[in-house]
A = this chain, B = another copy of it.
Amino acid sequence: MRLFDFNRAPNPRRARMFIAEKGLDIPLVPVNLYAKEQLSPEFQQINPGCTVPVLETDDGTYISEVVAICHYLEARFPEPALLGATPTEQALVLMWNNIVENEGLPAIAETLRNLSPGFRDHVFPGPVSYAQMPALVERGQRRILQFMDRVEQRLGTSHYLAGESYTLADISLLATVDFAGWVDIDGRQGRPALADWHARVASRPSAAA
């Protein structure tokens, strides 16, 4: 196996943290997004969506999308369980991971990609150009704060995001809260449950992966 990776980006970080929590040693293949290597014909053969991470399995299958990569690794290396133990726990992990993916990450990406000169004409991943729209920066910032408020509410009554155990949902949320720093939003400010949770998960060795 090997993982197509970019050290700076939040989604590859989610995969690397998951791999670190599993204690696995999977070689990394760097794809330099700053040099737009993900748009090369060679990488489009690997992932037409032009995103990282991508896991290449031992039988040569390319798996994109973090949740799919993590599910594959959990099936092959069940311990420690990071996707829940019972059907209900598993559902809550997938649910909260999806909420982070659908509400948190896109809001930050929208803000950053419509703001940063590096994303001019590349507001979305992939080979098709989309122009920046400055009005989306302010909207994105509001969406980020709305998302942070939602997870603050949840973490006020739940030790970890999906329940009493540390899971992929926490990995995804940590990458997301830290990613918000790129647009100068610190979700911990004024949100004590999120701040407490962040201190706990950021101190795990996997956070440095």
Q: A143 an interface residue at 8 Å Cβ cutoff?
A: yes
Q: Which residues of B contact A102 (CB under 8 A)?
A: 65, 101-102
A58-117 interface (Cβ within 8 A of B)? 59, 61, 63-65, 67-69, 71-72, 75-76, 87-88, 90-92, 94-95, 98-99, 101-103, 106
Using known A-B contacts A92-B68, A130-B139, determine if residue A87 contacts B75 with beta carbons closer than 8 Å. yes
**B76 touching A95, Cβ below 8 Å:** no
Q: Which residues of B contact A143 (CB under 8 A)?
A: 124, 130
CA distance in complex: A106, B48 (Å): 19
Q: A142 an interface residue at 8 Å Cβ cutoff?
A: yes
Mostly, the A contact residues are helix
User: Which residue, of A59, A106, A139, has the highest number of chain B Cβ atoms within 10 A?
Assistant: A139
Within 8 Å by CB of A72, from B63, B67, B91, lies B91
Q: Which residues of B contact A130 (CB under 8 A)?
A: 139, 142-143
Categorize the interface residue count of chain A. 35 or more
Q: A40 an interface residue at 8 Å Cβ cutoff?
A: no
Contact indicator per residue, chain A 105-140, by CB within 8 Å of chain B (1) or not (0): 010000000000000000010101010010110010
**Assuming A72-B87, A72-B91, A98-B101, what are 17 further A-B pairs, CB within 8 angstroms?**
A49-B103, A49-B150, A61-B91, A63-B88, A64-B95, A65-B95, A68-B91, A68-B92, A68-B94, A75-B90, A75-B91, A76-B87, A101-B102, A128-B142, A133-B133, A133-B136, A133-B139
